[in-house]
Amino acid sequence: MKEYPTISLDRFDRENLHARAYFLSHCHKDHMKGLKGPLLKRKLQFSRTVRLYCSFVTKELLLSNPKYAFWEEYIVPLELESPTQILLVDEASGEKEDIVVTLLPAGHCPGSVMFLFEGSQGNVLYTGDFRLAVGDASRIEHLHSGSRVKDIQSVYLDSTFYDPRFYQIPTREVCLNGISVLIGNWISQSPYHVVWLNCKAAYGYEYLFTNLGEEFNTQIHVNHLAMFKNMPEILSYVTTDRRMQIHACRHPKDEEFFQGNRLPCGCTAPDGTPLRIISIKPSTMWFGERTKKTNVIIKTGASSFRACFSFHSSYSELKDFLSYLRPVNIYPSVIPLGRTLTEVTQMLKLMCRTSLISSAIYKPLGVLKRSRVQRPH
Ligand SMILES: [Zn+2]
Ligand SMILES: [Zn+2]
């Protein structure tokens, strides 16, 4: 970050090897580059002050993977919404800088947070990956001092969908409701009617599992659950017992299995009755208009469906968030598909405070139309 260049967020290789502190917003691979690198491991062994800061849940998920086990003694988990002072020390020169960091829930996957930094170079918000609904920013206490919005110098933004093409993505509740209706109609027909949720191998679908588990008073079959051993809210809705009507299990040849009308786990009915399986693939669906579309389920084959599900804020959600905060600068972390960095930077300028002020500057009226000068060839 321009304001605090001695810290590194979600990137752990190359010049980041010299950072005085590390921050991990959530456990997705594209935010963990270099995190298991031998160079970083050696740096930690020789350092007395360099630590990795993240949420308690992110720490738990990270350490559940043995490749990251060496981080254990260098991680400082922080509570959500409790400002913490961190001393950034240059170990060679002894130079020090104080910074206050606050973790804010990001609504992206278990453990995901935004980082708010407050220090001598101003207030800076790093969103990580996030999905907030319209109006959510006004409910985040630490973005306010008293009743006023804090003066935010820069936002480092998850700009995945900052493009009018992605104007509207149905809300989490609307998507979940569509999926629930589809599943309910299917599994209520007989115990042999089962559903396979075709989820990618990444954190973020747990919200779906817990809500479906609650709704249908069941557990979801998954391959692994050890990482949730200390998260009862999630753990109670997932199981490695295959005798379930809802599956989110995976197999290297998932699609092949499903074509053969089998579940990835190979589960069959104990009495030999063939299972009737539908697949639902959570996918991001967007609508370019403001109108509220309700078709959050699309049939893509005889027994396969796509269901709307998004881990990232839509264009209108991002605009709502930014127009509430009105930061001086906005830096995109992601370039939307088919766009260029220049384009997205230009588009984000419109949401910056200076742009709002300059557009309000009085321009003298009454300029006369000039006749067009014809240049000789
Ligand atoms: Zn992510
Ligand atoms: Zn299964």
- Give the pLDDT of residue 102: 98
Residue 348: count of CB within 10 angstroms of its CB: 21
- Give the pLDDT of residue 259: 73
- Give the pLDDT of residue 288: 85
- pLDDT-based confidence at residue 368 (cuts at 50, 70, 90): confident
CA-nearest of 228, 270, 264 to 246 is 264
Quick: pLDDT tens for 133-161.
999 999 999 999 999 999 999 999 999 99
- Give the pLDDT of residue 283: 95
Quick: pLDDT tens for 163-187.
999 999 999 999 999 999 999 999 9
Domain segments of the chain: what residues?
7-165+313-358, 172-308
- Give the pLDDT of residue 371: 62
Angle at 43 between CA 41 and CA 44, to 5 degrees: 65
- Give the pLDDT of residue 357: 52
Q: Which ligand is nearest to the CA of 204?
A: 1
* 16/260 Cα distance (integer angstroms): 47
Average pLDDT over residues 361-374: 65
- pLDDT at 369 > cutoff 80: no
Quick: pLDDT tens for 344-358.
999 999 999 975 555
Q: Which ligand is nearest to the CA of 194?
A: 2
CATH of domain 172-308: 3.40.50.12650
From residue 183, give the alpha-carbon distance in Å to each of 59, 141, 219, 345: 33, 37, 14, 41
Q: Which ligand is nearest to the CA of 264?
A: 2
Quick: pLDDT tens for 21-34.
999 999 999 999 99
* 44/27 Cα distance (integer angstroms): 20
Answer CATH for 7-165+313-358 from 3.40.1350.10, 3.60.15.10, 3.40.50.720, 1.10.3720.10: 3.60.15.10
Average pLDDT over residues 183-211: 97
Burial class (CB in 10 A: 0-12, 13-18, 19+), 122: middle
- pLDDT at 57 > cutoff 70: yes
C-alpha 302 – ligand 1 centre gap (Å): 32
Quick: pLDDT tens for 60-87.
999 999 999 999 999 999 999 999 999 9
Quick: pLDDT tens for 98-111.
999 999 999 999 99
Name the CA dihedral angle for 337, 339, 341, 345, rounded to a multiple of 10 degrees: -110
C-alpha 110 – ligand 2 centre gap (Å): 22
C-alpha 91 – ligand 1 centre gap (Å): 32
- pLDDT at 361 > cutoff 70: no
- Give the pLDDT of residue 354: 77
- Give the pLDDT of residue 376: 54
High-pLDDT (> 70) share of the chain, %? 94
C-alpha 124 – ligand 1 centre gap (Å): 20
C-alpha 221 – ligand 2 centre gap (Å): 5
C-alpha 16 – ligand 2 centre gap (Å): 41
Q: What mean pLDDT value characterizes the chain? A: 93
Residue with tokens 């370019």: 288
Name the CA dihedral angle for 256, 258, 264, 269, rounded to a multiple of 10 degrees: -140
C-alpha 186 – ligand 2 centre gap (Å): 17
C-alpha 108 – ligand 1 centre gap (Å): 7
- pLDDT-based confidence at residue 261 (cuts at 50, 70, 90): confident
- Give the pLDDT of residue 4: 98
